[in-house]
Structures are given as structure tokens and as C-alpha cells.
């Protein structure tokens, strides 16, 4: 009788331990972003902004870009996104530069990250959840930006930078 009681209790404890192990494995998750994702994300944002041309952007998804085109604020649709931000910077259209950057990145960057777009160390757009000084990890990626105004006057080179942190 005592052996049966001992083995039943032993099986019951084993089931509880296995159940807790399964629960911990499947139902607990880490809220910290993996470090490799932030490296890839920073580089991807820079690649997206330096290789995507304005004419490749769908005006229906980005109505602000359509507004800028229709009102001749954007004059060269063959500019890359970063070149256009640089052109806004050179012509001192900082509000347009910030709104342009915000519209282009809001659907690209996960909300769990903070990020900043700079031209020559001047803040163009900043989406901050946590302060850079208290960030666990901050990654920066840079690109040289240059272009032409009205197909006649060249500007640049400028230092385009994207910082991502959490």
C-alpha cells in the first residue's frame, strides 16, 4: 500500500514539473529585441532610403508624398528618398524634410525601436521611446548624400545617418 502511494505521488510531482517546463517554454517571452535585428534594421533603413526612388513610392499609400509632388515641392522624381531629404536640408525646408522622413519610415520601423534620421548631424526626424543616453544598444549607419537642384546646381556631399536604439 505504501509503495503505491509513493509512486502515485512521484508521478504527480513529475507531471507538475513537466507542465511548468512546457508553460515556461511556450508562454513566457523576452521583451528585449534581439541584437542582430537592430543591426539589420539600421542597415535596411539606410539601404531603403538610398536606393528607393521617389517615383517608386505608391502615392495612394503615402498621400503626403503625393501632395509634395502635386505642389511642385518635390521637383525631381528620380531622386532617392535620402537625396530628397538632403535637398530639403540644402534648401532649408526642414519641416518638409521631417514630415517626408516620418511618412516614409512610420510603416517600416517597428514601434519597439527608437530611431533618428540626421543630415550632417542635424536632426531631421526623431521617433523616440527611450533616450539615446539610456539605450541598451544604439547602432548607427551612414551614407554619403549628394544631388542636383533643378538639374543644374550640385549640392553635397552630406553625411546622411540613421540611428536605431532600444
Helix then strand then coil, % of the chain, to nearest 5: 50, 25, 30
Q: Do 54 and 18 fall within a single domain?
A: no
Over residues 79-124, the pLDDT tens digits come to 999 999 999 999 999 999 999 999 999 888 888 889 999 999 999 9
Same domain, 48 and 8: no
pTM of the model as a whole: 0.76
Question: Based on the domain organization, do 21 and 43 belong to the same domain?
Answer: no
- The domain in which residue 61 lies consists of 33-165
Total domains in the chain come to 2
Give the model's pLDDT for residue 35: 59
Same domain for 106 and 48: yes
- Residue count of the chain: 166
Q: Quick one: 53 and 1 in the same domain?
A: no
Partner residues linked to 165 by β-bridges: 114, 138
Amino acid at each position: 500500500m505504501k509503495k503505491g502511494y509513493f509512486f502515485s505521488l512521484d508521478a504527480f510531482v513529475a507531471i507538475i514539473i513537466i507542465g511548468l517546463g512546457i508553460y515556461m517554454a511556450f508562454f513566457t517571452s523576452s521583451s528585449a529585441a534581439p541584437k542582430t535585428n537592430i543591426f539589420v534594421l539600421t542597415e535596411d533603413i539606410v539601404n531603403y532610403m538610398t536606393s528607393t526612388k521617389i517615383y517608386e513610392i505608391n502615392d495612394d499609400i503615402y498621400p503626403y508624398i503625393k501632395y509634395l509632388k502635386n505642389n511642385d515641392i518635390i521637383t525631381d522624381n528620380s531622386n532617392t528618398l535620402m537625396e530628397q531629404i538632403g535637398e530639403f536640408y540644402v534648401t532649408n525646408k526642414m519641416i518638409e524634410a521631417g514630415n517626408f522622413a516620418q511618412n516614409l519610415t512610420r510603416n517600416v520601423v517597428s514601434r519597439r525601436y527608437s530611431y533618428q534620421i540626421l543630415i550632417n548631424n542635424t536632426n531631421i526626424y526623431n521617433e523616440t521611446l527611450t533616450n539615446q543616453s539610456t539605450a541598451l544598444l544604439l547602432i548607427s549607419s551612414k551614407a554619403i548624400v549628394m544631388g542636383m537642384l533643378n538639374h543644374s546646381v550640385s549640392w553635397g556631399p552630406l553625411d546622411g545617418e540613421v540611428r536605431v536604439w532600444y
